[in-house]
Structure 1
Amino acid sequence: MKICFLGDVMLGRGVNEASKHMSPQDHWGDTLELLSLADLRIINLECAITDYNTPWTKTPKVFHFRAEPRAVEILKAARIDICSLANNHTLDFCEQGLLDTRDYLLRAGICPVGAGKDIYEASKPCLVKAGNFTVGVVAFTDNEPPFAAGENKPGTNYLEVSLDPSVLTEVERTIQQTRDLGADIVIFSDHWGPNMRLRPSPLFKQFARRVIELGADVFYGHSAHIFQGIEIYQHKPILYDTGDFIDDYAVDPVLHNDWSFVFECSFDGYSFSSLTLYPVKLSFARVQRARGQECQQIMQRMLELSAELGTKLEVHDEFMMYQA
């Protein structure tokens, strides 16, 4: 079984405008072939999908990302199966925007996870069939505390990044609940930490390892807008940050938020067996596989960052691999 993990997908603002003149498939470029070969495709959706156009003003916020409902066709074009909504943009257009987003995704056959009409819906795992397996995804964020869901309040599944016993108890409870609901493989998604950081902090490394120790099979991180190194811990992958995948963002010429990967995890039975990384280059509202010298530069950065975490990757012409 193969699962593709992608970084932040932001379909609002400039991407929303560009989509009026592009086909849904155009935004994914030549990554569509890779995605079509996977059994499951998971993204962090970094915007609201809604016609509701009143932005969040309850607390100060600089950026508000909104895509019109036709954006769902972009997700369908790549056969996206699961969207994490536990992030700092899901409520950019208030609670109505969040509820609309969930509704549009569900109508399209895409499973939203990590946000909902109340804390019970926001914390509910997403379970999907992939081949002969049931994959369960739980999604959290430590971003934008005012967005947190409550008993009668729509919002995100907020969780502080901490080694406090109460936090770890919640992690363990959620993973066990997902197993009890029938998941063979559990993915822990976390939209965490500040932007533009090349390396996870010591606390983040400790936290991700504890998540694995508490029963998750994959740690799927995002938020920094640039990819970070990969760690294999207890024979399971920690993707500290998967970077960006589709957006309209200004590009930092040093940190390169326009570089990332398709992260393809393979499983043999219930066990992680390999990770294949396909470098990609983002342009305005579009992504494509990286080629030539730039492909080599992207892989070299990942090689070095992962080596710092004790992970040795095999470098091939246009992709990288870790073989368990």
Structure 2
Amino acid sequence: MGQQSPTRIGFTGDVMLGRLVDTRQRTRRRAPDAVWGSVSDQLRELDGLVINLECCLSTRGRQWQRTYRPFHFRADPDWAIPALESVGVDVCALANNHVLDYETIALRDTLATLDEAGIAHAGAGETIDEALEPAVRSIGDCEIAVVSFTDNTPEYAADEETPGTAWIEIDVGDEETKRRVREALDRARRSNPDLLVASLHWGPNMVTEPSASFREFGRWLVEEGVDLVHGHSAHVFHGIELHDGRPIVYDAGDFVDDYAVDPELQNDRSFLFVLSVTDVGEPVELRLVPTEISECTVSTASAEAATWARQRMRSLSARYGTTFEQDGADLVLELDTG
């Protein structure tokens, strides 16, 4: 009997479906899947898809005013849920700095509409206990468990009685952080997953590399049994480090949004990160498919944008000793997990 084909699971950076993205979809009556542009077929061909959902899904609520917040992101679930379903989104990481932008009622709508659609989520809930629960899905031959944390916007943090996010300090010396993360990982392991993912919305915007404390934290997560660190928040992608054969994607950049583009940092350019996993749960390859955002739509990167992204990723990752092969427009990272 031949060996089964690997299970291919996609990971994206920020998927922000609010503000102008939402307005464009509704006022122009675009099909729900239009937001995925020329990448839609590649997304559908994956066995699974994990995203950071950088907005709430609701038409209710009022903008958070309890503390100063310059931006508020909300998408109408009538088109946003069909859009997520159209490309087979399996898991949404919700521990971020926008899921409470329209207060508790919109957070509750987000949780309810994802549940109704059968899209798993992690990182936010009615209480911190719920926010620590993993998202668990069977994808192909792979059982995947995702935990989700953020160090952004502490006022959005859940506690024993208050809805919100799974908020932590990114500090391996912080005992409360280690206790909370280990609790979430222990819960995730109860499902006996083949793949354990930590999805982290961490750090400030528009920084080009992780801090030393973030690198230490990412390596600690791998040592705690995480198979993939899925980072996001900076709006620009960072380099990738391998630790004990496991990839640490420090930041996946942006995948869909309406943000102004910095001409130097090129925050409209990133990748779809595709992890291949064997039938015995071993990650064997991480493929980086270049993408770019234009007119509130993600697309396959142009030749010029793809070249820029590959060169930048190689440069950023070289400092960690990470090297890639090239396959067409894609970068390929072979994972030696033996």
Report if TM-score (shorter chain) is over 0.5. Answer: yes
In the TM superposition, what are the counterparts of 1:138-287 in structure 2 within 5 Å? Answer: 138-166=147-175, 167-268=177-278, 269-287=280-298
The code of the aligned residue for 2:102 comes to F
TM-superposed deviation, 1:212: 0.4
CA distance in 2, matches of 1:129, 1:100: 25
Partner SS for 1:124: coil
The corresponding residue for 2:143 is 134
What are the superposed Cα offsets for residues 38-79 of structure 1, whole Å, 9 maximum, x if unpaired?
221011111111111411111111111111122211111111
The answer (yes or no) to whether the contact 1:29–1:286 under 8 Å persists in 2 is yes
What are the superposed Cα offsets for residues 3-26 of structure 1, whole Å, 9 maximum, x if unpaired?
100010111110011112221121
The code of the aligned residue for 1:287 comes to V
CA distance in 1, matches of 2:217, 2:16: 27
TM-superposed deviation, 1:119: 1.0
The corresponding residue for 1:26 is 34
Range with greater deviation from structure 2 (87-96 or 288-297): 288-297
What are the superposed Cα offsets for residues 156-183 of structure 1, whole Å, 9 maximum, x if unpaired?
0111100125122332332122112332
What are the superposed Cα offsets for residues 218-277 of structure 1, whole Å, 9 maximum, x if unpaired?
100000000001111100110100000111110000001100100001112221100100
CA distance in 2, matches of 1:77, 1:301: 31
Structure 2 CA distance for partners of 1:315 and 1:177, relative to 1, 3 Å:
same
Q: Alignment partner for residue 13 of structure 2, among 7, 11, 32?
A: 7
TM-score (norm 2): 0.94
The code of the aligned residue for 1:69 comes to P
Partner SS for 2:209: coil
TM-score (norm 1): 0.97
Q: Kindly tell me the number of residue pairs found equivalent between the two proteins.
A: 324
TM-superposed deviation, 1:316: 3.0
Note the residue ranges of structure 1 that are not aligned, 5 or more in a row: none
CA distance in 1, matches of 2:33, 2:65: 34
The answer (yes or no) to whether the contact 1:90–1:98 under 8 Å persists in 2 is yes
CA distance in 1, matches of 2:178, 2:15: 29
The answer (yes or no) to whether the contact 1:227–1:260 under 8 Å persists in 2 is yes
TM-superposed deviation, 1:308: 1.3
CA distance in 2, matches of 1:239, 1:229: 7
CA distance in 2, matches of 1:40, 1:15: 24
TM-superposed deviation, 1:206: 0.5
The code of the aligned residue for 2:129 comes to Y
What are the superposed Cα offsets for residues 97-122 of structure 1, whole Å, 9 maximum, x if unpaired?
10001111111111121001111111
The code of the aligned residue for 1:313 comes to F
CA distance in 2, matches of 1:317, 1:289: 13
Q: Alignment partner for residue 58 of structure 1, among 66, 71, 77?
A: 66
CA distance in 1, matches of 2:328, 2:304: 11
TM-superposed deviation, 1:36: 1.6
TM-superposed deviation, 1:185: 1.3
The answer (yes or no) to whether the contact 2:61–2:105 under 8 Å persists in 1 is no
Q: Alignment partner for residue 112 of structure 1, among 95, 111, 121?
A: 121
Q: Alignment partner for residue 134 of structure 2, among 110, 125, 141?
A: 125
The answer (yes or no) to whether the contact 1:31–1:289 under 8 Å persists in 2 is yes
CA distance in 2, matches of 1:30, 1:231: 29
Range with greater deviation from structure 2 (258-267 or 105-114): 105-114
CA distance in 2, matches of 1:171, 1:68: 32
The answer (yes or no) to whether the contact 1:171–1:214 under 8 Å persists in 2 is no
Q: Alignment partner for residue 68 of structure 1, among 76, 79, 84?
A: 76
CA distance in 2, matches of 1:293, 1:94: 41
- Please tell me the root mean square deviation across aligned C-alpha atoms, in Å: 1.1
Partner SS for 1:297: helix
Partner SS for 1:237: strand
The code of the aligned residue for 1:39 comes to D
The answer (yes or no) to whether the contact 2:242–2:322 under 8 Å persists in 1 is yes
CA distance in 1, matches of 2:240, 2:154: 27
The code of the aligned residue for 2:51 comes to I
The corresponding residue for 1:291 is 302
The code of the aligned residue for 1:94 comes to E
Q: Using the aligned pairs only, state the percent identity.
A: 40
